[in-house]
Amino acid sequence: MLYTLLITTACVAGTPEWKETEFSGKKLLLDPRCRPLSTSLLGPFVTLGDGSVLAVDDERTMLSEDGGNTWSPRPLFRQPDKFRCRGERALLRTRDGALILAFLNSPEQVLRWDQAQGGPLPECRLPVYIVRSPDDGRTWEEPQKIQDGYCGALRTMIQLRSGRIVLGSQVAVANPGRHVSFTCVSDDEGKTWKKSNVIDLGDYGGYGDHGGGIEPTLAQLKDGRLWMLIRTYRGCFTEAFSTDEGLTWTDIRPSKIEASGSPGQLRRLQSGRLALFWNRYIDPQKKTGRREQLSIAFSEDDGATWSEPAVVAYDPMQPGDTEPQHRLSYPYVCERVPGELWVSTMQGPARIKLYEDDFFPRRLSEKTYPARYLPDAGIRIDGRADEAAWSKAAVEKGFAFPWKDAPAPPTEFRALCDGENFYFTFRIEDADIFVLDTLRDEEDAVFEDRGEMYFSRDDKMTDYYCIEVDSKGRAFDYRGAYYRKLDPSCNMAGIETAASPLEQGYVVEGRLPLAGFEALGFPRLKPGVKIRCGLYRAEFSHDRSGKPVLQRESIHNRGRQLEGPPPIEAWMSWIDPKTEEPDFHVPTSLGWLEVVE
């Protein structure tokens, strides 16, 4: 069920079977769909290009190459006696592979506040710094100060579709003393920054050392606007919008999201949904139970409606206790892999992992390709695909750019099946084919134009098989397990592939033995059998700009590099996976392949 307003009381009565779990010597109640992380690190966390995870500590970074089970330290600051991060910080890995950390420098903190004298006194300060790493955290540049004054917290830094970086911030102002919110934006991956207009809530936000509008979180909406949620004490977040990518904020008003005067964390997930982690009152009427429960909700329509909120962690008050002893607030959220969320609280010891599909399952496509069963197909694999039997195959032409606003070059897919083999062909129009003369090994196909097919044994891609064929007919096949646990050494026996050129493009053709499917655990393909399947195209082109290119690790190149400039990547699919970034290795990219008479 979807709710237009988040007004559900955050009670525990309807939550089944709370799971008592110990964190750092303290017992918390978890939603049974959550499980503890194997680390007590606060974070924030970020996934690097090679799939490892980096966390920021007060004065160092920590690296895990085994999913968070073990960690090794790395230096963060060249002058550790001069710089130290407070717990309120924001960490981002850009699409080009740079790491950007925004932090409050503890050694410079001076809190001098006297409301009778106007609020923050002249010496009151806690400045904001940025520190960058161009190489996934191996080395870090010198920190640069981007904001003076007293900043109480940093919650969110995001990269927009344009590439711009936007950091939510705040600063204390005087006469009367309060906090105001704004954003800082960077168009050069954190090297230089510009400040937006200030959001000053005046009387509505209240006054004092926690008054005003503070601790903003933000996300980019599908129409390009930015949406900000600001902590206030009015029983709900205040919201603001920007139509110029964070330089100007307008439409400032109370939101429809009830909140307990604590900061939220708004995140755009790879599924395209928004996720919100925040604190609600256990009793909104009495305004009690302010920070003991951490809740989550999802939205598929940019916040117009939300899933029913779920309390994921709870630290119940005991007689004689005070509220600060039971806080689970100031959440950090990292989507380690698509659909897997790591959540840690700065106030309170919660360190949990949860899966999006356990709370709000992603919808899979029912699109089906009908593979014609022809016992006497008589296909010879020569890369031409000109046998008469191919005219009886269904033609799939619905390939598009899900992550690029441009017309897609024509692509046609056909498949047939006889009693022994599954046959396939792609006919691809391409005016700029990126192909390597020589491959170091079959994995070099990640740099080439190619047609791709994936077959999954279930809806979750827990076990799947992929074959990718380049314009020379060279195949790269491998087995996979979610998420992107790829084994290039696991090949299907007996496959055969070939290709031939077109005037502008190429044709690939291949056959997969039915016995090979069975050996991988698939049912034998015959009329009436359906299996999950994905059809894709890597549409690459040459970079002829002459500009210097810094090669970075990514999920697409698997950490490999070319001697020359890498290709300009674009990705086509027969189904829109509805992910924020290009990715075929997700269940939402799959439809069905059905063998038909």
| pLDDT per position as a tens digit, 285-335 | 888 899 999 999 999 999 999 999 999 999 999 889 998 999 999 999 999
Q: Does 423 map to a domain?
A: yes
**Quick one: 293 exposed, middle or buried, by C-beta within 10 A (0-12, 13-18, 19+)?**
buried
Q: Does 231 map to a domain?
A: no
Q: Does 280 map to a domain?
A: no
Identify the bridge partners of residue 203 per DSSP, sorted by sequence position. none
Residue-wise pLDDT for 551-562, tens only, equals 777 888 888 888
Q: Does 479 map to a domain?
A: yes
Q: Does 572 map to a domain?
A: yes
251 Rama sector, left if φ>0, alpha if ψ -120 to 50, beta otherwise: left
Q: Does 403 map to a domain?
A: yes
Say how many domains are in the chain.
1
Q: Residues near 476 by Cβ (< 8 Å), separated by ≥ 6?
A: 442, 443, 445, 446, 450, 467, 468, 469, 470, 488
Task: Report whether 232 contacts 215 (CB < 8 A).
Answer: no
Lowest-confidence region among 160-169, 543-552, 569-578: 543-552
Q: Torsions phi, psi of 517, nearest 5? A: -60, -45
Residue-wise pLDDT for 45-56, tens only, equals 999 988 999 999
Q: Residues near 436 by Cβ (< 8 Å), separated by ≥ 6?
A: 444, 447, 448
**Which residue in the block uniquely carries the two structure tokens 């089906």?**
368
Q: Torsions phi, psi of 452, nearest 5? A: -135, 145
Query: What's the CATH number where 405 sits?
Result: 2.60.40.1190
Cα→Cα distances 46→154, 338, 374, Å: 16, 13, 50
Query: Which pair of structure tokens corresponds to residue 128?
Result: 């904001």
- Asked whether residue 61 carries a pLDDT value surpassing 70, the answer given is yes
Q: Say what the pTM is.
A: 0.94
Show the domain range for 554.
368-596
Q: For residue 588, which amino acid is it?
A: T
CA 588 to chain centre: 14
Residue-wise pLDDT for 393-408, tens only, equals 999 999 999 999 999 9
- Asked whether residue 570 carries a pLDDT value surpassing 60, the answer given is yes
- Asked whether residue 500 carries a pLDDT value surpassing 80, the answer given is yes
pLDDT at 548: 79
CA–CA gap between residue 252 and residue 240 (Å, rounded)? 4
CA–CA gap between residue 597 and residue 523 (Å, rounded)? 17
Residue-wise pLDDT for 62-79, tens only, equals 999 999 999 999 999 999
Q: Does 348 map to a domain?
A: no
pLDDT at 2: 45
CA–CA gap between residue 22 and residue 294 (Å, rounded)? 16
Q: Torsions phi, psi of 591, nearest 5? A: -120, -140
SS3 391: helix
Task: Report whether 359 contacts 296 (CB < 8 A).
Answer: yes
Q: Does 498 map to a domain?
A: yes
Residue-wise pLDDT for 171-221, tens only, equals 999 999 999 999 999 999 999 999 999 999 999 999 999 999 999 999 999
pLDDT at 16: 56
Task: Report whether 445 contacts 439 (CB < 8 A).
Answer: yes
Cα→Cα distances 91→48, 164, 573, 592, Å: 12, 15, 31, 39
